[in-house]
Amino acid sequence: MTSLDETIAAALDLARAARWQMALRLLDAVQPVGESDRRRMAVAAVEVALESDWFAGTALTAGRLAGADREGAAEGPGGSGWDLEFLRLRHDYLRQVTGAGGQEPRLRERAGELAQKAPDAVRRGWARMYLGLITDNVFGEREAAPAHYAAALDAGDDLLTREALRHLGDHDRERGDLVSARARWERATELGARHGLVCGTLSQQMLLAELARETGDEAGAVRLATEIARWADAIGASRLTDQARTFLANDSVV
């Protein structure tokens, strides 16, 4: 692994630990040598910014996308061009589900195109994952989404498996199979924690709190949600803090 690889890996680990600003400072402090390295750093900064926007409610991604475009990352060799377009898709999806942006009628088609063009199985799995999320949460076609999540499971990537299990569990819960939902969600929590995914693990525990409430363990649900709210508030994950507090006000968050 080169020093650049290590720097990017360290920045992404910091972002997964909810240290988004520290991760961006690390990336910005590095002076990459050569066009290819600059493109890779710019794409990594987009990914960190997107994680911050998703969990902390910041608005950093658009500026970082513009920076990556200036570096020509969309035309980069290997997977960097694909990675940037996938991050752009994820940003547009975030804007749609949070109401922060206008409708993007080609969102689903773009996800399908990324799946077709993916340079490897893991990237293809991520594109299928977002094809499912867009189908599920933008178009409301609940019955069509699980096939995409199941396809994502085949890629063999822990973080992708975690994401797919999270949403397959939601469909289990909707059809009343709470045993399967719990098994999937507990496994997803474990995978997220293994890879240092602090906000992802807290959000997954929020689903377990909801499930505890549904199965009659209100005291356990409240204890878990209280700790989630405390953790989320401490790390600046405002969206998770709001979810947990909504739950504690006795409203469903799912």
Question: How many CA atoms lie less than 13 Å away from 34 in the CB half-sphere?
Answer: 5
CB 234 within 8 A of CB 19: no
- Residue 44 above 90 pLDDT? yes
Q: In the prediction, which pLDDT does 33 show?
A: 80
- Residue 254 above 50 pLDDT? no
Give Dmax over CA atoms of the chain in angstroms: 59
For residues 107-132, give the mean pLDDT: 97
Sign of CA dihedral 236, 242, 243, 246: positive
Q: Residue 76's pLDDT band (boundaries 50, 70, 90)?
A: low
- Residue 12 above 90 pLDDT? yes
134-187 pLDDT, tens digit each: 999 999 999 999 999 999 998 989 999 999 999 999 999 999 999 999 999 999
CB 169 within 8 A of CB 184: yes
- Residue 132 above 50 pLDDT? yes
